[in-house]
Every structure is written in structure tokens, then in C-alpha cells.
Amino acid sequence: MNVTDIEKIPETPDVPELEATTLQEVAGGGDLCSADQLVALTGALKESYENLVDFTSHVIERVAGSINT
């Protein structure tokens, strides 16, 4: 088989745009949660991570301070 035997892929395929309801289902898992709920969850996870970093820094400072004294 050579290159001329293979049908070329069109440069701009005719792909229909997704509707808002379809995007909502893909983004939020359908009935499980909405896009807004995912944004809120992501914010809560970020806040939890930042709290953990702050706590870890505090513990390291305390341990390092007790070693130096």
C-alpha cells in the first residue's frame, strides 16, 4: 500500500459545536454535579492545600527553632 491509496484527512473536519447542556454534562458529570459546584470544590481544595502548607511551614519553623536553642 502506498500513500496514494490512503484517503487524506480533511484539513477542516465538519464537527458540530457542542450544546450548552452537553458541555454541562461533560464538565460536571451529568447529574452528579454542576460546573459551578466543581468550581466551588476546586476552591475548597486549593484553600485546604494552602492551609496544609501554612501548617507544615509552622511546624518546620518550630522544630528548627527548638534545634537552635
Instruction: Output 7 or 45, whichever has higher pLDDT.
Output: 45
pLDDT in the model for residue 19: 77
DSSP structure string for 15-69: -PPPPHHHHHHHHHTTTT--HHHHHHHHHHHHHHHHHHHHHHHHHHHHHHHHHH-
User: In this structure, what are the phi and psi dihedrals at residue 16, rounded to the nearest 5 degrees?
Assistant: -70, 150
Q: How confident is the model at residue 17 (pLDDT cuts 50, 70, 90)?
A: confident
Residue-wise pLDDT for 23-47, tens only, equals 766 765 556 777 788 899 999 999 9
Q: Where are the domains of the chain?
A: 35-69
